[in-house]
């Protein structure tokens, strides 16, 4: 139990600190006498009495602590502390707004569950609430950041729940919360959620995978230590380098990548080189190319950042002895890039860079527009989020990151709605693709040129053949407009 590390509040002004402390006092009073189902540490075998269960107030404090670690601003921390008071106490949103302002009230409203309505079962309400949270995120990224922190603490204390509830929550976590966390770049939270969900869904496979992974780390520790020493020797003297470290994947990634078979740790071990600034990333890459056996493939996520803001240079070392580990991924980035890769898009970044809002609006908003039921919404969202990513190129050489399964039509609508509405054909490499063949699925590395005609119109049946909710929405919108006109 970490509770709130008050020393982390030193990053805020005195006025902000006062507001956070006032929110803590307010929430403590609101949740007075409420208890969680999780036991106080050391009281697991005590009688079934309220005094042996954790005070409910510790939960919002833990959620606030996760938001603090994730670089949340003061409004996010206050909202995290208050996130359950409207749902679980007599406090109203008006009370929150009067005392802490409209921003906090709006965020608290965004994470509050939809109240029970006669005729709707609990599962339906949870689906409706998730849809509400996702759509609310378009206007304020802090809503989903708090919801992810809330889910993370709930997963950390899931042992107090019945087995059936553990399975339901873990499945929901893997299907929805992990992909959403990755969508906003909160990879540190995503990895912990993956491992916790895996632990409850497949306890035997989890334990087996964890033991094999620990054994593998021990097996290759000498080689990795030697490699680390080589990096320290060749790069450590440079004033451009701030830190060099070796990091391992989480247990769930190991299980997915290798199926638990211990035949190597390719891409499951990463050497991270943290440098001073953007220019230093490329200079250090040059040094690595000079001193180490480097695979020719370079992924430049600095020149072409991911939609969630992720930036880094990726290159791969290979072992000339051809034994394990055969390849090891190297990531070169600044400290700011490293924090973004761990904690995701913050409120400050979201408000200052309209690209992030545009991406989420296109993704979440498109799903919302084409789905009538909450269940359908979550299924389509899961489809859009979990698809693997590939890279394709425009004729000018610009790299575009798209989801695996995207057709040429999906790609056209991703670039611009007008491009999709008036597409007449395309070139994939040097191959001409007529309009009747535009449902072709693109492959990693394809070069795509979209051809258009002023009188061209999308085919209505494409709605059932494209992959992305954005393309479906745009085609539907085009034909709805034609009917109105």
Rounded Cα–Cα distance for residues 125 and 109 (Å):
15
pLDDT band with cut points at 50, 70 and 90 for residue 293: confident
Residue 360, SS3? helix
Mean of pLDDT over the chain: 87
By CB neighbour count within 10 A (0-12 exposed, 13-18 middle, 19+ buried), where does 105 fall?
Answer: buried
Rounded Cα–Cα distance for residues 128 and 119 (Å):
14
- Extended beta strands in 282-393, E state: 294-300, 313-318, 327-334, 389-393
- Extended beta strands in 250-292, E state: 269-275
More confident residue, 205 or 383: 205
Rounded Cα–Cα distance for residues 134 and 131 (Å):
5
In the predicted structure, residue 105 carries a pLDDT above the cut 50: yes
pLDDT at 286: 92
Catalytic residue among 73, 87, 126, 306: 87
Please state whether 267 falls in left (phi above 0), alpha (psi between -120 and 50) or beta: left
Rounded Cα–Cα distance for residues 133 and 147 (Å):
8
**Does the annotation count 446 as an active-site position?**
no
Comma-separated ranges of CATH 3.10.20.30 domains in the chain: 353-484
Comma-separated ranges of CATH 1.10.3210.10 domains in the chain: 6-160
Q: How many CB atoms lie within 10 A of CB 352?
A: 9
Phi and psi for 432 in degrees, rounded to 5? -80, 135
Which sign does the torsion angle of CA 425, 427, 428, 431 carry? positive
6-160 folds as Hypothetical protein af1432 (1.10.3210)
206-343 folds as Beta Polymerase; domain 2 (3.30.460)
The owner of tokens 């063949």 is 437
- Write out pLDDT tens, residues 382-423: 777 777 778 898 888 887 888 889 999 999 998 898 999 999
**Does the annotation count 307 as an active-site position?**
no
Rounded Cα–Cα distance for residues 228 and 222 (Å):
10
In the predicted structure, residue 259 carries a pLDDT above the cut 70: no
Comma-separated ranges of CATH 3.30.460.10 domains in the chain: 206-343
* Least trusted range by pLDDT, from 2-16, 72-86, 100-114, 129-143: 2-16
In the predicted structure, residue 53 carries a pLDDT above the cut 80: no
353-484 folds as Ubiquitin-like (UB roll) (3.10.20)
Catalytic residue among 16, 22, 69, 88: 88
pTM: 0.81
- Write out pLDDT tens, residues 216-234: 888 888 888 888 899 999 8
């Amino acid at each position: 139990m970490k509770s709130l590390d008050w020393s982390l509040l030193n990053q805020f002004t005195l006025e902000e600190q006062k507001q956070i402390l006032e929110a803590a006092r307010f929430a403590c009073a609101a949740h007075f006498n409420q208890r969680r189902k999780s036991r106080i540490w050391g009281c697991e075998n005590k009688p079934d009495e309220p005094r042996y269960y954790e005070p409910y107030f510790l939960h919002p404090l833990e959620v606030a602590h996760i938001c603090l670690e994730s670089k949340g601003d003061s409004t996010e921390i206050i909202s995290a502390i208050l996130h359950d008071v409207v749902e679980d106490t007599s406090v109203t949103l008006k009370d929150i707004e009067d005392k802490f302002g409209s921003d906090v009230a709006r965020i608290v409203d965004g994470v509050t569950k939809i109240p029970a309505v006669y005729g709707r079962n609990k599962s339906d309400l949870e689906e409706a609430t998730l849809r509400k949270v996702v759509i609310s995120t378009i206007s304020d990224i802090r809503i989903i950041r708090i919801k992810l922190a809330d889910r993370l603490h709930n997963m950390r204390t899931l042992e107090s729940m019945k087995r059936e509830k553990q399975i339901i929550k873990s499945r929901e976590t893997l299907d929805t919360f992990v992909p959403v966390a990755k969508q906003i770049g909160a990879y540190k939270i995503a990895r912990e959620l993956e491992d916790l969900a895996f632990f409850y869904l497949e306890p035997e496979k989890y334990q087996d995978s964890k033991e094999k992974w620990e054994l593998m780390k021990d097996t290759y520790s000498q080689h990795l230590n030697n490699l680390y020493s080589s990096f320290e020797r060749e790069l450590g003297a440079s004033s451009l380098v701030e830190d060099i470290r070796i990091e391992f994947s989480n247990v769930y990634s190991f299980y997915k990548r290798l199926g638990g078979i211990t035949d190597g740790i390719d891409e499951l071990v990463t050497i991270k080189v943290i440098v001073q600034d953007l220019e230093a990333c490329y200079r250090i890459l040059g040094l690595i190319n000079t001193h180490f056996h480097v695979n020719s493939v370079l992924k430049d996520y600095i020149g072409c950042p991911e939609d969630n803001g992720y930036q880094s240079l990726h290159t791969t070392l290979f072992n000339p002895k051809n034994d394990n580990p055969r390849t090891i991924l190297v990531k070169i980035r600044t400290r700011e890039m490293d924090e973004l890769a761990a904690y995701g898009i913050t409120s400050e970044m979201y408000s200052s860079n309209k690209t992030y809002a545009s991406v989420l609006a296109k993704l979440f908003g498109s799903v919302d527009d084409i789905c009538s039921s909450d269940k359908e919404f979550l299924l389509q969202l899961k489809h859009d989020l979990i698809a693997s990513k590939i890279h394709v190129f425009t004729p000018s050489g610009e790299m575009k990151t798209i989801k695996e399964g995207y057709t040429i039509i999906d790609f056209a609508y991703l670039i611009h709605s007008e491009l999709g509405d008036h597409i007449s054909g395309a070139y994939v490499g040097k191959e001409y693709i007529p309009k009747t063949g535009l449902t072709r699925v693109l492959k990693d590395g394809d070069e795509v040129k979209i051809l258009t005609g002023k009188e061209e119109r999308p085919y209505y049946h494409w709605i059932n053949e494209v992959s992305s909710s954005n393309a479906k929405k745009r085609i539907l919108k085009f034909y709805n407009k034609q009917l109105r006109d």
